[in-house]
Amino acid sequence: MRSFLFLSLCFFLFASCGKEYSYEGGPPLPPADTIKTAQGYLGGAPNACTPVTIYGTYEKGFAFDSAQHIKVQATITHAGSYTVYTNTVNGIYFKDSGTIAANGTYMLNLKAYGTPIQSGNFVFTVRLNNSACTFTLQVSEAKVSGGDYFPDTPGSWWKYLSIDNTTPMGWNCTNFKRTYNGHVYSVFTRTIDNPLAGSRIDTAFFRKENGNYIEYGNSKGLIGLFTFAFSVLYQNREIVFLKDYLPVGGAWNSDTLHIQSTDPVVDYLIFQRFEIVAKDVSLNTINGLSFYPVITVKVSMYRNNLDGQGFQQGGDLYYFSYAKNIGYIQRRTSNTFQTSYNEYITDYHIQ
């Protein structure tokens, strides 16, 4: 009997200890997935990256925008956050990071950073986890020009003053380029210091092709002045503002826009006409600076109210003057009452 009681007591104590242990440690759990970082490998590793696609142009001395990037293939064997990157070569590198939710094969987009120091062919190594592969990038000499009527050499700058409200304005050609619709544009910034409205900085995009000077439209650069009278926004399109090979009397039109709005209600067509009115002449700006040779372009507005009357010229006339090897030097506006000098150059530096 005593043995039975003793054994029963031991069993009770053992069971009590077991329950207490279970309470403190919790019930058994399945193995936890503690890996937060994506795991995988690059296509072509450990040799040349396959496939790899290089986007954008790479020129010595020019920084990058979103057009410059590469795409590499990666097979993800464990989903999670990732960082894929290259080493730094010739002053530039590529990098991408993010989160992948499911296993599979992906094309990862690595953005370019930095500014190429030299031209030539350069080998980069891409890394993801312990996987690595290589690709070759070609960097070319910069395609810039200074000996024309709108220099786009990086570091060049121009300062202007407005006669109407004494507002100073400055243009600066940056060392950035942008690619839109397959065309590469030099990036300019324009700073306006209005004593009433304060300072602001706009960005404009220009390119040149066979004597045609072209702006990619966003209404912030020269074409913003062309279209001010009708508040027309030139989004995602080009306009040729100068043709330096045409003689006096040579003219061209912008494409026609159909302007429609419900508040207020408007419905009309509009285009701009450009005409060379002076060429190979000397010009003295209002502050006494002298330039030669100079081309002056007259810009007029034509509007069709869709009332059967066709296109009618309207609004002010704009006269833009450009000096060879200098660029844009002044703008005048003429209407039936007066002719005013809206902007004139006060200082400049061509790099």
CB 280 within 8 A of CB 243: no
Q: Is residue 147 in a domain?
A: no
Residue 109 shares a structural domain with residue 73: yes
Q: Are 94 and 173 within one domain?
A: no
- Its pTM surpasses 0.95: no
80 part of a folded domain: yes
| Token digits of residue 263 | 């508040």
Work out the average pLDDT over 299-308.
Answer: 88
Which range is least confidently modeled, 172-186, 216-230, 273-287, 316-330? 216-230
Q: Which of 138-147, 270-279, 310-319 has the lowest mean pLDDT?
A: 138-147
Q: Which residue has the tokens 């000499």?
A: 141
Contact 349, 151 (CB under 8 A): no
Domain membership of residue 32 (yes or no) is: no
Contact 141, 119 (CB under 8 A): yes
Say if residues 345 and 285 touch (Cβ distance below 8 Å). yes
Question: Rounded to whole angstroms, how far apart are CA atoms 144 and 204?
Answer: 16
Alpha-carbon span 293 to 326, nearest angstrom: 10
Q: Which of 75-79, 85-89, 189-193, 242-246 has the lowest mean pLDDT?
A: 189-193
Strands 104-114 and 92-100: antiparallel
Same domain, 333 and 195: yes
What is the residue whose two structure tokens read 């599979």?
Answer: 104
Query: Within this chain, do residues 73 and 181 fall inside the same structural domain, yes or no?
Result: no
- β 104-114/120-128 pair status: unpaired
Query: Looking at residue 240, which CATH number applies to its domain?
Result: 2.40.360
Q: Which two tokens stand for residue 231?
A: 């508040």
Cβ–Cβ under 8 Å, residues 206 and 214 = yes
Identify whether residues 206 and 294 lie together within a single domain.
Answer: yes
Residues 6+ apart with CB under 8 A from 168: 159, 160, 161, 162, 192, 193, 346
In-domain check, residue 177: yes
Range from 88-97, 235-244, 264-273, 297-306 that averages highest in pLDDT: 88-97
Give Cα separations from 27 to 18, 19, 21, 23, 34 (angstroms): 12, 11, 10, 8, 19
Residues in the chain: 351
Task: Tell me, yes or no, whether 4 lies in a domain.
Answer: no
| pLDDT confidence bin for 341, thresholds 50/70/90 | low
Q: Is the dihedral angle over the CA atoms 325, 327, 330, 335 positive or is it negative?
A: positive
Are 211 and 239 in contact by the 8 Å Cβ rule? The answer is no
CATH code, domain with 117 = 2.60.40.350
If asked whether residues 135 and 220 sit together in one domain, one would say no
Q: Give the residue carrying structure tokens 């499911």.
A: 102
Task: Quote the percentage of the chain above a pLDDT of 70.
Answer: 79
Dist CA 212 CA 338 (whole Å): 31
- Tokens for 140? 């070319």
pLDDT value, residue 146? 63
Residues 121 and 179: their CA atoms lie apart, in Å, by 22
Same domain, 185 and 130: no
pLDDT at 62: 83
User: Using alpha carbons only, how large is the chain's radius of gyration in Å?
Assistant: 33
Q: Among 112, 139, 166, which residue terminates a domain? A: 139
- Give the span between the Cα atoms of 283 and 248, in whole angstroms: 16
70 close to 108: Cβ distance less than 8 angstroms: no
* Together in a domain, 218 and 253: yes
Q: Distance between CA 29 and CA 289 in Å, rounded? A: 84
Question: Is 152 part of any domain?
Answer: no
Q: Report the share of the chain in percent with pLDDT over 90.
A: 43
Q: Which residues contact 56 (CB under 8 A, 6 or more apart)?
A: 64, 67, 68, 69, 112, 179
How many H-runs (helices) and E-runs (strands) does the chain carry? 2, 21
The reply to whether 13 falls in a domain is no
Whether residues 108 and 188 share a domain: the answer is no
Residues 217 and 285 in one domain: yes
Average pLDDT over residues 86-93: 95
Q: What are phi and psi of 10, to 5 degrees?
A: -60, -45
Tell whether 18 is covered by a domain.
no
Token pair in block for residue 335: 């209407």
Residue 240 shares a structural domain with residue 338: yes
Q: How many domains does the chain have?
A: 2
Domain extent for 328: 157-349
Residues 103 and 233 in one domain: no
